[in-house]
Structure 1
Amino acid sequence: MTIGIWVLGDRLSQQQTALKKYEGKKQEVAVILIESSNYARQRLYHRQKLVLVWSAMRHFAEELKQDGWQVTYAIAVDFITPLQEWIKAKKISELSLTEPSDRSFTEFVKSLELNCQLKLLPDNHFLWTKAEFQAWADQGKRLLMEDFYREGRKRFKILMAGKKPVGGKWNFDKQNRQPPKQSLTTPDPITFKPDTITHEVIDWVNAKEFSNYGEIEPFNWGVTRQQALQVLEHFITKCLTNFGAYQDAMITGERTMWHSLISPYLNLGLLEPAEVISAVEAAYYRQELPLNSVEGFIRQVLGWREYMNGIYHYMDANYGDRNWFEHHHSLPDFFWDANATNMNCLHQTLTQIEETGYAHHIQRLMVLSNFALIAGISPQEIENWFHSAFIDGYDWVMQTNVIGMGQFADGGVLASKPYAASANYINKMSDYCSDCSYNRSDRTGEKACPFNFFYWDFLSRHRDRLSSLGRMNLVLSHLKRMSSEELAQIQTQAETWWQQQK
């Protein structure tokens, strides 16, 4: 029997199950990595996303070769052709691979007609297995992330003092919502100059015209595990102290603030969640870092990341098709061209994404997703855009984050209320409104901020449905006090805005 291992582009770790199982038989096992042009053209991917994935794959292939593995690297139109040729040439009798994170790709792999046995090995790039998450979800009355997070803290003994949380509280959210100050001095992010391999990938992406979305250079992302570890160390030593307090703040020109920038590396497999959490927790005890920062970050990895992956696999396959509010507007063109909008918060955020493929979680949730929600954009269209535009985007990431959390399209599986807000929130947590052509205070009129009239129009359109959510009653009470004349103006302005997009 000849064993073959297919290493996928988001499983670039020698700790992955398939490689780990056969690490003592490197000379007897064949390994393949495949770049598929057709797969890259399924979406209008950000060009830096394509460069990151393919450069990381090529670097990982070289790492495996240097470590004694027998590696084939294929660049092809599709996956099946080089896979079949390799299976025949190497006389593969059993093809092993670590189970893909995305449900659709798992089904694709299972559908392939291969002249050998296919063996999917358990995914070990999350702390919770699918079975463990399902057992947790089935035993509880609610699927709240906070409950799951606390269970994770106990299970893995993270920031625990016996049976109680360190500091006496499970989270420090109230300390982590500081608005930006004008005098903030933020650290520069760590960047990496493209090497020969990365330059070759940049040239390849340009030559083949896989996508015209996003700037391809300057490309500053790391593409190896060693570089990913440097990013983690930089975050811990330079950013973690102030990460907590200002993690929700947004400032013009400040693209990374104190954020970690490790999500692309976690999602590629270059970093493992357990090692990230351990490193941050160890730094807390060693350096006496602020607990609100340390806990706030660990909640993102141990809480949100694990929870989103768990929900993705726990829900039915049609979860991504949900549309609780029945929103059907098409995605405005300015999501693909930041210069096409005069809303400064959107312009700043979208410009940043075009140039880097990145925006932090509040820009994603309270600017981009918020606008899509209150304006009535199709959840599936905005989810597709998120998946395409972001450097860390994958199906398991974006379905739950966008369909569930950002758009409330699942009707409350993930959240107890929609994340909907007017310009008031954006003005509080950013400096965007101070340099905008719209007036952040106006709900109607020529200078009215679209976030304002869309917000109140959203509440009005869905007041019956929203009234079933207890946490929305206070907001809906404000709607009741609005005059019928002003509400009519708001509704007209919302309709007119959409007519102008056609």
Structure 2
Amino acid sequence: MTKAKEVRFLLGDQLNIRHSWFGKSDEQVLYLLMEVRQETDYTTHHIQKVCGFFAAMREFAETLKSRGHRVHYLKLVDKNNQGDISANIKRIVDESGAKSFKYQEPDEFRLDAQLSELCNELSSSGIDCECSTTEHFYTERSFLKDFFKGKKTYLMENFYRHLRKEHDILLEAGKPRGGKWNYDKSNRKSLPKNHTPPAPLNFENDVASILEELEASDVKTIGSIRDSQLNWPISRTQSLQLLDYFVENALPWFGDYQDALTTESWAVYHSRLSFSMNVKLISPKEVVNRVLEQFEQHSDLIDISQVEGFVRQILGWREYMRGIYWAEMPEYASLNALDQDRKLPSWFWTGETKMKCLSHSITQSLEYAYAHHIQRLMVTGNFALLAGVHPDEVDDWYLGIYMDAIEWVEITNTRGMSQFADGGIVGTKPYVSSANYIDKMSDYCDQCVYDKKDKTGENACPFNSLYWHFYARNESTLSNNPRIGMMYRTWNKMSPEKRDELLKKGDSLLENIEEL
């Protein structure tokens, strides 16, 4: 290996070519990227997710080289790859003779701790270490915790409005454009009959060589990939193409139908930009600015409710979830406020269940490494919560199966918003429903063998009795929650016979959960 004065390490989700590190090339600086078993094996990932990370990293390494930067790239199959980030870094620093090591802030707590510990070791050997920001997010790690200092709760709406004001987004004379800060009530429509969303933009990235290397390395994965072609963007150019496609073809209807569930489209009107943003091929500010630009140019065709609904997801929810993560970790990862302890049904890994909503959402996830937020929250997450599945089980599934799942954004959505395992840090109530909500928002129930209206009969939809079973078994914890008091009033008004019938049905379903 040729010598270098400084080694700069990049994680697989730090592919930001606009970072100040890359403003000019320096022959004395060596950039290091690596594929390691440490990262492929900490959970069982979707095959498309692993391919997507590796393909994007390799593409980024070539981009750096084309701009005159020195790059050392370790593939998973390289003989001298030790499979561990720290071990590889120590070897490269030693072999290069570098006296300086720099890295960017990891977005995951475990990696932050690992690299901090590594720097302590390197410093004791006379190596200067420095950590830089990723120059990606709107806010710094500690911003949310500082913003809510002295407050009892982290109210997302206050956080969101502050960022709108700070960055002058959708404002007129300091007031919210259109007269409202939040158009969430306009963002809950189901798809009309015979309504067809635009076909999603897919790419044809050949990852055959990566698949061969994963197989040779015996990396365990889930899901599938068709004809060795990865449909997700793996470069900044492709990510910008996907952004343009979204604003031109889906933004005008995004807000209305962002919660809609359908068997007719796996992407509906969603942008599918989360992978590109999470690996930092494009920034949230770029995405928001492009959406605002499209709105200004076509405000006669795009209602503000569509735009605000999208901006809220990026500027509000995404930044908010990251803030929660850094404010509450590492304790957050072990929270289980409802003491759930059941195993995840095996059909979560196959989609082989008679419940149409779950079979479709899970099968889609296995095929595309993607499901939108309502499929995650109100179908798969809803069932897991009603069934009493341990949040560790749910975390592991979500972290592995989705293309965009990195712990900082996955765990706060799963353990917090979806499973209420944090006891109300993220969501003020458990997000559960019977078949009624799923039927209202989708075409699932009409295609299902279960009866959406029946609660306790032989062919009753499992969601109906499990809904009341959940509230009954968690009454001591949840009954004082003002947002769900009505549910307990309804429950207590039922006859003892009706309650007993619902509980017995729920018990039976849980005892036979693998057969549903």
Q: TM-score, normalised by structure 2?
A: 0.93
Q: Does 1:7 align with 2:10?
A: yes
CA distance in 2, matches of 1:445, 1:24: 70
Counterpart Cα distance in 1 of 2:261 and 2:381: 15
Could you list the per-position Cα deviations for residues 108-151 of structure 1 after superposition, in whole angstroms to 9, with x for gaps in the alignment? 12223445333221232210112332221215453111111111
How far residue 25 of structure 1 moved from its aligned partner, in angstroms, is 4.5
SS of residue matched to 2:420: coil
Map Cα deviations across residues 401-456 of structure 1 (whole Å, 9 max, x no partner): 01111011111111111111111000000000001111111111211111111101
Distance 1:475 1:123 in 2: 45
CA positional deviation for 1:279 = 0.7
Alignment partner of 2:84 out of 41, 59, 78: 78
Question: C-alpha distance in 2, partners of 1:68/1:22?
Answer: 10
The 2-side partners of 1:117 and 1:44 are apart by: 36
Does the 8 A contact of 1:202 with 1:216 survive in 2? no
Task: Report the 3-state secondary structure (helix = DSSP H, G, I; strand = E; otherwise coil) of the residue aligned with 2:256.
Answer: coil
Q: Displacement, 1:205?
A: 2.4
Give the AA of the match of 1:334. Answer: W
Q: Which residue of 1 aligns with 2:56?
A: 56
> 1:228, CA displacement in angstroms?
0.5
Instruction: Verify the 8 A CA contact 2:142 2:323 in the aligned structure 1.
Output: no
User: 2:235 — aligned with what?
Assistant: 224
Q: Is the 8 A contact 2:418 2:430 kept in 1?
A: yes
Task: Give yes or no for contact 2:357–2:445 (8 Å, CA) kept in 1.
Answer: yes
Q: Is the 8 A contact 2:142 2:326 kept in 1?
A: no
Q: Does 1:143 align with 2:149?
A: no
| Deviation by residue 1:385-410 (Cα, 9 ceiling, x = unmatched) | 10011110011011110111101111
Does 2:368 correspond to 1:356?
A: yes
**Aligned 8 A contact 2:25 2:67 in 1:** no
Q: Are the counterparts in 2 of residues 143 and 414 from structure 1 also a CA contact under 8 Å?
A: yes
**1:310: which partner in 2?**
323
Aligned partners of 2:452 and 2:213: how far apart in 1? 44
Provide the residue aligned with 2:286 in structure 1. 275
**Aligned 8 A contact 2:325 2:408 in 1:** yes
3-state SS of paired residue (1:314): helix
Counterpart of 1:346? 358
- Listed as ranges, the gaps of 5+ residues in structure 2 are 76-80
AA partner of residue 314 (structure 1): A
Residue identity matched to 2:94: K
| Change beyond 3 A, Cα 1:58–1:88 | same
Distance 2:400 2:494 in 1: 39
DSSP-derived class of the 2:452 partner? coil
Equivalent in the alignment of 2:347:
334
- How far apart are the structure 2 equivalents of 1:481 and 1:219? 54
Q: Is the 8 A contact 1:144 1:415 kept in 2?
A: no
Residue 484 of structure 1: how far off its partner (Å): 1.5
3-state secondary structure, aligned to 2:149 = helix
Give the Cα–Cα distance (whole angstroms) in 2 for the partners of residues 348 and 24 of structure 1: 49
* 1:325-374, Cα deviation, whole Å (9 max, x unpaired): 111101110111102x1111000000000001000010000001111111
- From 107, 110, 118, the equivalent of 2:113 is 107
Which residue number in structure 1 is paired with residue 211 of structure 2? 202
SS in 1 for 2:237: helix
1:22 Cα offset (Å): 6.0
Larger mean CA deviation between 282-291 and 138-147 belongs to 138-147
1:470 paired residue number: 482
Gaps of 5+ in 1: none
Query: Which aligned pairs between 1:369-408 and structure 2 lie closer than 5 A?
Result: 369-408=381-420
* Distance across 2 between alignment mates of 1:434 and 1:25: 60
> What RMSD in Å do the two structures reach over aligned CA positions?
1.5
Q: Is the 8 A contact 2:196 2:264 kept in 1?
A: no
The match for 1:98 among 92, 101, 104 is 104
1:209 is displaced (CA, Å) by 3.2
Residue 44 of structure 1 corresponds to which residue in structure 2? 44
Amino acid aligned to 2:396: N
Q: 1:167 maps to what in 2?
A: 178
Partners of 1:22 and 1:29 within 8 A in 2: no
CA distance in 2, matches of 1:316, 1:367: 27
SS at match of 1:51: helix
Matched residues in 2 for 1:70 and 1:139: separation?
47
Contact 1:51 1:201 in 2 (8 A): yes
Of 33-42 and 432-441, the range deviating more from structure 2: 33-42
* Offset, 1:500: 2.2
Cα shift readout 1:218-238 (whole Å, capped 9, x = no counterpart): 521111010000000000001
Moved segments of 4+, more than 6 Å = none
Structure 2 letter corresponding to 1:93? K
Report the residue type matching 2:209 in the other structure: E
Q: Does the CA-based 8 Å contact 2:370-2:402 persist in structure 1?
A: yes
CA distance in 2, matches of 1:316, 1:250: 33
1:186–1:257 Cα contact (<8 Å) kept: yes
Alignment of 1:424-439 (within 5 A): 424-439=436-451
Distance (whole Å) between structure 1 residues aligned to residue 215 and residue 200 of structure 2: 26
CA distance in 1, matches of 2:98, 2:506: 60
State the match for 1:211 in structure 2: 220
Q: What amino acid sits opposite 2:346 in the alignment? A: D
Identity in percent: 36
Whole-angstrom distance in 2 between the partners of 1:206 and 1:167:
54
3-state SS of paired residue (1:24): coil
Q: CA deviation at 1:493?
A: 2.1
- Trace 1:228-307 onto structure 2 (pairs within 5 A): 228-288=239-299, 289-307=302-320
* Partner-residue secondary structure (3-state), 1:244: helix
1:448 to 448, 460, 465: 460
Amino acid paired to 1:356: Y
Q: 1-side partners of 2:400 and 2:196: how far apart?
A: 32
In 2, the alpha carbon distance for the partners of 1:352 and 1:363 equals: 10
> Structure 1 CA distance, aligned partners of 2:21 and 2:60?
18
- Which amino acid in 2 is paired with 1:89? E
Amino acid at match of 1:161: E
- Higher mean C-alpha deviation, range 43-52 or range 103-112: 103-112
The alignment partner of 2:424 has SS state of coil
Summarize the Cα distance change of 1:22–1:192 in structure 2 as closer, same or farther, 3 Å threshold.
closer
The correspondence for 1:133, drawn from 135, 144, 147, is 144
